[in-house]
Amino acid sequence: MESSHVENDLVNILFTEEQIQARLAEMAEQITADYEGRDLVVVGVLRGAVMVMADLSRAMPRHIEMDWMAISSYGSGTKSSGVVRILKDLDSDISGRDVLIVDEIIDTGLTLSWLVNSLRNRGPRSVEIATLLRKPEALAMPVEPKYVGWDIPNEFVVGYGLDYNEKYRNMRDIGTLAPHVYS
């Protein structure tokens, strides 16, 4: 979906599809160099990371194994319940392997911090994080991604996997959602 189809719902466009693809290609180049000759499992966090995971993986000129996890700490509300549940676990054994968690955004870091600790308890060689976006002002837990596309202000953003009420995920750009949509 083009952002022009929902332009009345957006305050502005933060990143265009072209900018996103260029940044992911740069990140893929760095990841490829850092994991040269190593057995890499790339773990996408469902659902938001689907777009990032697909495009980042396609930009890597090497073999990787892809797997997915779905975790939740929100229940049916918009505030974290503080209790993390695994809705879909890994299919792969990660013991002794390098794991790269791919997410679309780091907001508070609470759920991602829990995920990193959970995966480290499974005996991998390493666990690192790649995220397209990070909101430094919103961090409530220390989460240190190795690869970050961009730091952004603490605003409600949608598009390219990011949603509001399961809408806007398929928008090609990333934009700030207008308050009248979610107020």
96: left (phi over 0), alpha (psi -120 to 50) or beta: left
Domain spanning 17-153 has what CATH number?
3.40.50.2020
Q: Domain boundaries in the chain?
A: 17-153
The reported pTM is: 0.93
Neighbour-count burial of 138, counting CB atoms closer than 10 A to its CB (0-12 exposed, 13-18 middle, 19+ buried) = middle
Nearest Cα to Cα of residue 128 among 105, 100, 150, 103:
100
Looking at residue 81, its pLDDT comes to 56
| Nearest-10 crossing angle of helices 50-58, 17-34 | 60
What are the catalytic residues?
A: 107
Cβ atoms of residues 86 and 64 within 8 Å = no
% of the chain beyond a pLDDT of 90: 87
- C-alpha distances in Å from residue 30, one per residue of 22, 23, 38, 133, 156: 13, 11, 14, 17, 28
Looking at residue 117, its pLDDT comes to 95
Give pLDDT tens digits for 65-121. Answer: 999 999 987 554 445 556 788 999 999 999 999 999 999 999 999 989 999 999 999
